[in-house]
């Protein structure tokens, strides 16, 4: 539950940051300044993604691997592989 609150806090911060970037674009702020802010948001989103992935690995994946259902194990492994494949296309 504590991690969920941390995720929500970070997401609220990201929302505010994105709104600020929208204001920058409306005000025709220098392009590179906007790009720097976008990169900061991307980093923040990646951090949240890492927290959520960590939760998934510790709870869902670990439970499936320790369990006796081979289909569930393969499903969990497939999910993780798909996440890594999607990130490598980035």
CATH number of residue 8's parent domain = 1.20.58.1000
- Going from the C-alpha of 25 to that of each of 13, 17, 36, the distances in angstroms are 19, 13, 13
Question: CB of 80 within 8 A of CB of 57?
Answer: yes
- Residues 8-35 have pLDDT tens digits of 999 999 999 999 999 999 999 999 999 9
Domain count for the chain, please give it.
1
Q: What would the pLDDT profile of 61-71 be if each residue is shown by its tens digit? A: 888 888 889 99
Written as one string, the DSSP assignment of 54-74 is HHHIIIIIHHHHHSS-HHHHH
Range of the domain at 26: 2-89
Q: Say if CB 37 and CB 21 are below 8 A apart.
A: yes
What does the alpha-carbon distance between residue 75 and residue 86 come to, in Å, rounded to a whole number? 16
Both tokens assigned to 52 = 């959520």
């Amino acid at each position: 539950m504590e991690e969920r609150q941390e995720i929500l806090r970070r997401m609220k911060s990201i929302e505010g940051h994105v709104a600020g970037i929208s204001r920058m674009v409306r005000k025709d702020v220098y392009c590179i300044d906007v790009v720097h802010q976008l990169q900061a948001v991307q980093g923040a989103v990646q951090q949240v993604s890492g927290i959520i992935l960590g939760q998934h690995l510790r709870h869902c994946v670990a439970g499936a691997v320790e369990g006796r259902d081979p289909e569930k194990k393969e499903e969990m492994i497939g999910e993780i592989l798909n996440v890594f494949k999607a990130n490598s296309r980035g």
